[in-house]
Amino acid sequence: MDFDFFLLDVDGVLTNNLAEVSEPVCSEVSRLTREGAVVCLATGRSLDWLYKRVKPFLSKSDYSKLFFVGENGAVWCSFNSSFEPLEGREPEFNVPEKIKRASREKTREWPLLFFDESKTAMVSVESRHELLKSDEDFSASQEQLGACHEYLKGFENDFLRATRTLYACDLHHSGANKETAAKRAFSLAETRPKKILLVGDSEADLRFAEGLPQESGFCFYFVGEEERLRARPEWVLFTKNKHDEGTLSLLKTLNL
Binding footprint of Mg ion on the chain (CB under 5 A): 9, 11-12, 201-202
Residues 189, 67: contact at Cβ < 8 Å? yes
Q: What's the rounded Cα separation, in Å, for the pair 105 and 124?
A: 13
Given the complex with Mg ion, which of 20 and 105 has the nearer CB atom? 20
Given the complex with Mg ion, which of 109 and 226 has the nearer CB atom? 226
Q: Which of left, alpha, beta for 83 (phi over 0: left; psi -120 to 50: alpha)?
A: left
To Mg ion, the closest distance from the beta carbon of 54 in angstroms equals 13
Given the complex with Mg ion, which of 11 and 62 has the nearer CB atom? 11
CB neighbours of 142 closer than 8 A, spacing ≥ 6?
A: none
Given the complex with Mg ion, which of 9 and 126 has the nearer CB atom? 9
To Mg ion, the closest distance from the beta carbon of 122 in angstroms equals 16
How would you class 164 by CB atoms within 10 Å of its CB: exposed for 0-12, middle for 13-18, buried for 19 or more?
middle
To Mg ion, the closest distance from the beta carbon of 217 in angstroms equals 24
To Mg ion, the closest distance from the beta carbon of 214 in angstroms equals 26
CA nearest to 8, candidates 193, 215, 219, 191 = 219
